[in-house]
């Protein structure tokens, strides 16, 4: 009987893609995927440490494996991702969670098969974490991709920005750009497998620059020239580095989706400065204007943190104000969470929980009502949607995304299998806050 694996993934799309690579490594060792992490022979927990509740969930999950590991000494539990990049976490695992067999970092995923074999051969606990791997690459990986028709593709690793609240530069190391030719060859190799959409990933895609001097705009143009690719997306953009040349790509590259995730974090200049974001609200608003003048139907989403140390009522009002000015299509809103080792965790003027929650609720109300209003404009119109799967709630409903990344749940006379992997036309019949509903009208 073949051996089974399962991977539990927390965090961002970069972690999701790392899990695809880890699945590829395990399958090349002969393991088969199984749905139940408690019934596998090897379970990998790919962790996130961006906010404190991610920490808590992770330690809770580890606790649940104690019994499994005790009853079956051959079961292997591995932990990777951003949590073990913090020395205190590895110490805590060693002290309190002795049943964790393997721990490896974000920058040595390729070592995992050796660590696993060594663990199986010797029974020893394996730990391997590199802080800042200059040779990080995934060029020889054969990921098992989660989606058939769209692929996550890393363009940069790490981050150099050191926003004062953020742990990512400490967990992912310094920024490195993959060569344009390597990225394009990877994408070309995906087309015969049915991939028509790519999501280019980096913590700050706008600072992409490879050894040959290619910029992010050069990369978009090169991907736009790849036959078989129909949609190009990217994330995350940083307002301090976004260039006019990149913005112009919305005009010149027909495959580039009319959608951008442009985190603002705060609407207050004082707070933006303390966050080390290197732009102010007027510069941010000027970028939004430029995007909308080049690409009038562009959809814009954002990330906002409330309760950053020192945020007063006026600062928060400025955040509400910028949200109303931009009128975001959607937003991820977070309560500031102090991360050990980051400068902001040591700022003295931390904001009480009750104030954070009150501001958070007010912000969410504003963002949701804007999303709802914007979605009303879609009603009665026809959009191209790429179906991604069957709705979780209803087997007769297919879900997919518009070019602008709006989630659409729709019905069709045709079988879902027939529609997957190609653009279909959908008439929008109902608009909700977070999704649209419709019927397929392709001829």
Direct distance between the N- and C-terminal alpha carbons of the chain, in angstroms, rounded to an integer: 48
Within 386-415, which residues bind ligand SF4 (CB under 6 A)? none
Q: Which is nearer to ligand SF4, 157 or 383 (CB)?
A: 157
Q: Which two tokens stand for residue 440?
A: 């397929």
CA separation, residue 387 to residues 39, 137, 401 (Å): 32, 31, 7
Residues ≥6 apart with Cβ < 8 Å to 11? 46, 47, 48, 50, 54, 81, 82
207 counts as binding ligand SF4 under rule CB under 6 A: no
Short-list 41, 99, 98, 95, CA closest to 69: 99
From the list ligand F3S, ligand SF4, ligand SAH, none, pick the one residue 239 interacts with, judged by a Cβ distance below 5 to 8 Å according to partner type. none
Tell me which of 86, 156, 203, 337 binds ligand SF4, using CB under 6 A.
203
Q: Which is nearer to ligand F3S, 54 or 100 (CB)?
A: 54
Q: Which is nearer to ligand SF4, 166 or 190 (CB)?
A: 166
Binding positions for ligand F3S, rule: CB under 6 A: 11-12, 14-15, 48-50, 81-82, 167-168, 171-172
48 counts as binding ligand SF4 under rule CB under 6 A: no
Task: Give the nearest residue (CB) to ligand SAH.
Answer: 303
Rounded to whole angstroms, the Cα distance separating 141 from 21 reads 6
Q: Which is nearer to ligand SF4, 76 or 136 (CB)?
A: 136
Binding residue count for ligand SF4, defined by CB under 6 A: 10
Min. distance of Cβ 371 from ligand SAH in angstroms?
A: 17
238 counts as binding ligand SF4 under rule CB under 6 A: yes
Min. distance of Cβ 42 from ligand SAH in angstroms?
A: 29
List own/partner pairs for 25-28 with CB under 8 A and 24 or more apart. Answer: 25/109, 25/110, 25/112, 25/113, 25/141, 26/113, 27/144, 28/113, 28/142
83 counts as binding ligand SAH under rule CB under 6 A: no
Min. distance of Cβ 168 from ligand SF4 in angstroms?
A: 4
Instruction: Pick left, alpha or beta for residue 326 (phi over 0 → left; psi -120 to 50 → alpha; otherwise beta).
Output: alpha
268 counts as binding ligand SF4 under rule CB under 6 A: no
Rounded to whole angstroms, the Cα distance separating 203 from 167 reads 12
Q: Which is nearer to ligand SAH, 102 or 344 (CB)?
A: 344
Tell me which of 204, 268, 299, 375 binds ligand SF4, using CB under 6 A.
204
Min. distance of Cβ 121 from ligand SAH in angstroms?
A: 38
Q: Are 433 and 400 in contact (CB under 8 A)?
A: no
**Where are any strands of DSSP class E within 72-124?**
76-81, 102-104
From the list ligand F3S, ligand SF4, ligand SAH, none, pick the one residue 339 interacts with, judged by a Cβ distance below 5 to 8 Å according to partner type. ligand SAH
Residues ≥6 apart with Cβ < 8 Å to 155? 177, 178, 183, 200, 201, 202, 205, 208, 216, 219, 234
Q: Which is nearer to ligand F3S, 85 or 402 (CB)?
A: 85
Q: Which is nearer to ligand SAH, 112 or 336 (CB)?
A: 336
């Amino acid at each position: 009987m073949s051996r089974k694996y399962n991977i539990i993934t927390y965090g961002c799309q970069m972690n999701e893609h790392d899990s695809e690579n880890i699945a590829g490594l395990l399958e090349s060792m002969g393991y088969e995927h199984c749905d139940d992490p408690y019934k596998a022979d090897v379970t990998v927990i790919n962790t996130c440490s961006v906010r404190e509740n991610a920490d808590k969930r992770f330690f809770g999950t580890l606790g649940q494996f104690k019994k499994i590991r005790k009853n079956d000494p051959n079961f292997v539990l591995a932990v990777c991702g951003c949590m073990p990049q913090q020395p205190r976490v590895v110490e805590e695992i060693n002290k309190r969670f002795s049943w964790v067999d393997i721990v490896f970092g974000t920058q040595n995923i390729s070592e995992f098969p050796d660590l696993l074999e060594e663990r199986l051969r010797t029974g020893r606990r394996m730990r391997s974490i590199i802080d800042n791997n200059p040779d990080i690459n995934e060029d020889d990986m054969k990921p098992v991709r989660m989606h058939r028709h769209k692929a996550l593709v890393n363009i940069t690793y790490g981050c150099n920005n050191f926003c004062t609240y953020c742990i990512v530069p400490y967990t992912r190391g310094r920024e490195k750009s993959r060569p344009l030719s390597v990225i394009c060859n990877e994408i070309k190799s995906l087309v015969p497998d049915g991939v028509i959409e790519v999501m280019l990933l980096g913590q700050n895609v706008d600072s992409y620059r490879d050894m040959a001097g290619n910029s992010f705009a050069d990369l978009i143009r090169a991907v736009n020239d790849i036959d078989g690719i129909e949609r190009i997306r990217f994330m995350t953009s940083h307002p301090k580095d976004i260039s006019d040349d990149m913005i112009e790509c919305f005009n010149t590259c027909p495959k580039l989706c009319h959608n951008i995730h442009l985190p603002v974090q705060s609407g207050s200049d004082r707070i933006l400065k303390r966050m080390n974001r290197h732009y102010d609200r007027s510069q941010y608003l000027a970028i939004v204007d430029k995007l909308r003048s080049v690409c009038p139907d562009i959809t814009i989403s954002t990330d906002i943190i409330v309760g950053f140390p020192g945020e007063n009522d006026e600062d928060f009002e400025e955040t509400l104000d910028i949200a109303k000015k931009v009128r975001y299509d959607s937003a991820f809103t977070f309560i500031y969470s102090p991360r050990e080792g980051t400068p902001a965790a040591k700022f003295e003027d931390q904001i009480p929980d009750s104030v954070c929650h009150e501001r958070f609720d007010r912000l969410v109300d504003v963002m949701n009502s804007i999303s709802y209003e914007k979605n009303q404009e879609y009603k009665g119109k026809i959009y191209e949607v790429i179906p991604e799967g069957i709705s979780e709630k209803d087997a007769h409903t297919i879900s997919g995304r518009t070019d602008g990344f709006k989630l659409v749940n729709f019905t069709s006379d045709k079988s879902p299998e027939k529609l997957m992997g190609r653009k279909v036309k959908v008439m929008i019949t109902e608009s909700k806050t977070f999704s649209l509903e419709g019927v397929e009208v392709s001829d």
